[in-house]
Amino acid sequence: MTGTARGRFRWRTKIRKHLPWFLVNWGVAGKGTADCGDHDWYNADGSVEHCYHCIVGVRPYDPAHFR
In this predicted structure, the answer to whether residue 2 has a pLDDT above a threshold of 50 is no
Render pLDDT for 5-51 as a digit per residue (tens, 0 to 9): 566 788 888 888 899 989 988 988 888 899 998 999 999 999 999 99
- What pLDDT is recorded for position 62? 95
- What pLDDT is recorded for position 3? 44
Q: In what order do the strands lie in the sheet with 48-51?
A: 41-43, 48-51, 58-60
Compute the distance between CA of residue 54 and CA of residue 14 in angstroms, rounded to an integer: 13
